[in-house]
Amino acid sequence: MVKLSVVVPFYNVQTYAPDTLTSLRANAREDFEFLLVDDCSTDGTPEILERAAREIPGAVLLRHEENQGLATARNTGLDAARGEYLAFLDGDDWLAPGHLTRLVTAMDGLGCDFVRTDHVVNTGRVRSVKRAPIGLRNEVLRPRDAILPAHRTTSVDYPYAWAGMYHRRLLDRGLLHFTPGLRTAEDRPWIWKLHREAESFAAVSTLGIFYRRGVSTSLTQIGDIRQLDFIRAFDQVIEETANDVDAERLLPKAVRTYCALISHHVSSIERFEPAVAKKLRSMSAAALKRMPQDVLGEALSSMDEERAGGLRKLRRRRAGSLARTTGSGVAA
C-alpha cells in the first residue's frame, strides 16, 4: 500500500530541478511515491526527469503534451496518486532529509484531515522562517474557525499547498483539486475551499520545506497577462463564500483580502507590460464593482487611508467609465 503520494510539477527549471530531486531521494521510502509532472518543459528539464524516474525509488514520470500551468499539472498528479496521504512540492523548491516521514508521523498521530507547516524562505543566500499563522500547535482544530478575524492574517492568507499534508478522504471529496487553467493565485480558491469544507486540521512546527524566492521564471516575477489570473481566482473565492452558510461572517474577510491583493498589484503596476497595466486597472475596477457593495464599503473603511483611497479612486474610475459609455449611446 502506498502511504504517501507527493505531486511535483516541473516547468523549465533545469537549474533547480536537481536540488529538488536530490531532496526527494533523501525522503524516499518504499511506501512513498513521487509523481513528477513535466508540464511540457522546453529546456533540459525532461532529460533530468527521465533520469530521476529511473534512479529515485517510487518516482513516476507524467507528461503534458502542451503547457497547461501549475494548477492543471497538480491535478494531473492528484489523478494518478495512490497514497493514503498527499503532499505537494514545486519543481524549484526542496525538502530537508526525512521531512516527509516526520509529517506522516504527525498525520498518523493527529488523525485530522490535514496539517499545515512552517517553511524556510530562501532568497539568494539569505534564509528566513515563515510561520503558518496558527497559534496553537499539535492540536486538532476546526478549519472554518481559522478563517477569521477579517482584519488579521489568518490561515487562508497562508495558501501554499506545499506547506502541509492531506488525507486522501479530502481528495475523494473533491477538495484537493485546483481550478483548471489558473496560471497564478491557484492556491487561493483552493485554501478557502479547504478551510470551509474540511472537518479538521492542525498546525505542526515541523520545519523542512525550503521555498526558493526570486526565481526569474516564476510567475510572481513576470509582469505579463498571466498575473491577472488573481482576479479570476478571487472572483471564485467571493462567489463560493457568498453561497456558504456563514456567508455573512466570512465575506468581510474574503472582500478585504481581495482588496488587499488588488492594492498590492496596482501599487507595483510599473512592473507590468503597458497593455497589461491598463488591463489590470480596468479589470480591478470591474472587480470592485462586482463585490457586495455594503461589504466592500466596510472593508475600505477598515483599511489604511493610502490603500483605501487608491481603491476608491479605482471604483470611481469604473463608475465614470460606465457613465461615459452609456452617454455615448453604446450599451454598458
**For residue 219, is pLDDT > 70?**
no
In sequence order, the 6+-apart residues with CB closer than 8 A to the CB of 115 are 103, 106, 107, 164, 165, 201, 202, 203, 204
Least confident of 190-204, 260-274, 312-326: 312-326
Given a contact cutoff of 8 angstroms between Cβ atoms, the answer to whether 62 and 80 are in contact is yes
Q: Among the residues of the chain, which ranges form H helices?
A: 17-25, 45-55, 70-80, 99-110, 168-172, 187-197, 229-242, 247-267, 274-290, 293-302, 305-327
Q: How far apart are CA 300 and CA 306, in angstroms?
A: 10
Contact 229/212 with Cβ under 8 angstroms?
A: no
Instruction: Give the three-state DSSP class for 66.
Output: coil
What does the pLDDT read at residue 286? 96
pLDDT, tens only, 243-278: 999 999 999 999 999 999 999 999 999 999 999 999
- Give the residue-averaged pLDDT of 195-204: 98
pLDDT given for residue 215 in this prediction: 62
Q: Map out the domains of the chain as residue ranges.
A: 4-215, 223-327
Say how far apart CA 232 and CA 228 lie, in whole Å.
8
- Report the chain's mean pLDDT, rounded to a whole number: 93
**Residue 30: is its pLDDT beyond 90?**
yes
- Cβ atoms of 191 and 133 within 8 Å: the answer is no
pLDDT grade, residue 144 (50/70/90)?
Answer: very high
Task: Identify the three-state secondary structure at position 115.
Answer: strand
The yes-or-no verdict on residue 221 having pLDDT over 50 is: no
pLDDT greater than 50 at residue 325: no
> Which pLDDT belongs to residue 266?
94
CA-CA distances (angstroms) from residue 8 to 59, 71, 94, 228? Answer: 10, 11, 10, 24
More confident residue, 274 or 319: 274
- In our burial notation (b when 16+ CB lie closer than 10 A, e otherwise), range 247-284 reads eeebbbbbbbbbbebbbebbeeeeebeeebeeebbebb
Helix and strand numbers (H, E) in the chain are: 11, 11
Q: Which CATH superfamily is domain 4-215 in?
A: Spore Coat Polysaccharide Biosynthesis Protein SpsA; Chain A (3.90.550.10)
Comparing 225-239, 260-274, 315-329, which segment has the lowest mean pLDDT?
315-329
CA 220 to chain centre: 12
pLDDT of residue 70 exceeding 60: yes
Query: Per-residue pLDDT for 321 more than 80?
Result: no
pLDDT for the residue numbered 332: 26
* Cα–Cα distance measured from residue 326 to residue 59, given in angstroms and rounded to the nearest whole number: 59
Cell of 233: 481566482
Which of 118-132, 198-212, 313-327 shows the lowest per-residue confidence on average (mean pLDDT)?
Answer: 313-327
pLDDT tens readout for residues 145-195: 999 999 999 999 999 999 999 999 999 999 999 999 898 999 999 999 999
Q: Is the pLDDT of residue 322 over 70?
A: no
Cell of 38: 513535466
Under 8 Å CB-to-CB from 295, ≥6 apart: which residues?
A: 251, 252, 255
The answer to whether 130 and 153 have CB atoms below 8 angstroms apart is no
- Cα 108 to chain centroid distance, Å, stands at 25
Whether the predicted pLDDT of 73 surpasses 70? yes
User: Where does the pLDDT of residue 317 fall: very low under 50, low under 70, confident under 90, or very high at 90 and above?
Assistant: confident
* Residue 319 clears pLDDT 60, i.e. is over it: no
The lowest-confidence range among 95-109, 111-125, 200-214, 311-325 is: 311-325
